[in-house]
Amino acid sequence: MKRIIRIIALLALVTIAVAPLAAQAAGKKAKGEVVMKMGNKVHLFHSGTADVKKEIALNDTIPVYRQVGKHPQLKEVGQVKVLTFLDDHHYEAEIVKGEIKVGDIAKKGEAGLLVRPAK
């Protein structure tokens, strides 16, 4: 009986010692997330198909969405203004509203563009 009590006490001590380390690791992960704010430049990555190029024009203001919740639902988190065409798969844009994270999606009509930080 004494042996079982010692084992349970030892397990409790180990659990107490490890819990702060796990909480600290979770906090670091959230801090590493890139958040871009109004005025920042971003690159919009797209497939390069003709329908996307036809849908997106310079000086367009496009809403940006993020998938939230357990069941993927799109929530509008900001807007970007298309500034210039960079190459076959990228536009450069400026954030004009909201806070945008890497991986958010700018959508106009059927065209979806992945938001990435400008280099």
pLDDT tens-place string over residues 86-114: 998 999 999 999 999 998 999 998 899 99
Confidence band of 25 (pLDDT split at 50, 70, 90):
low
- The average pLDDT across 57-68 equals 93
Q: What is the rounded distance in angstroms from the CA atom of residue 58 to the CA atom of residue 95?
A: 14
- The average pLDDT across 31-48 equals 84
Positive or negative, the CA dihedral 55, 51, 85, 102 is: positive
Tokens representing residue 46 in the block: 């797209």
- Using a 10 angstrom Cβ sphere, with 0-12 exposed, 13-18 middle and 19 or more buried, the burial of residue 116 is middle
pLDDT for res 26: 54
Whether 51 has a pLDDT exceeding 60, the answer reads yes
Does this model's pTM top 0.85? My answer is: no
Q: What is the rounded distance in angstroms from the CA atom of residue 61 to the CA atom of residue 39?
A: 14
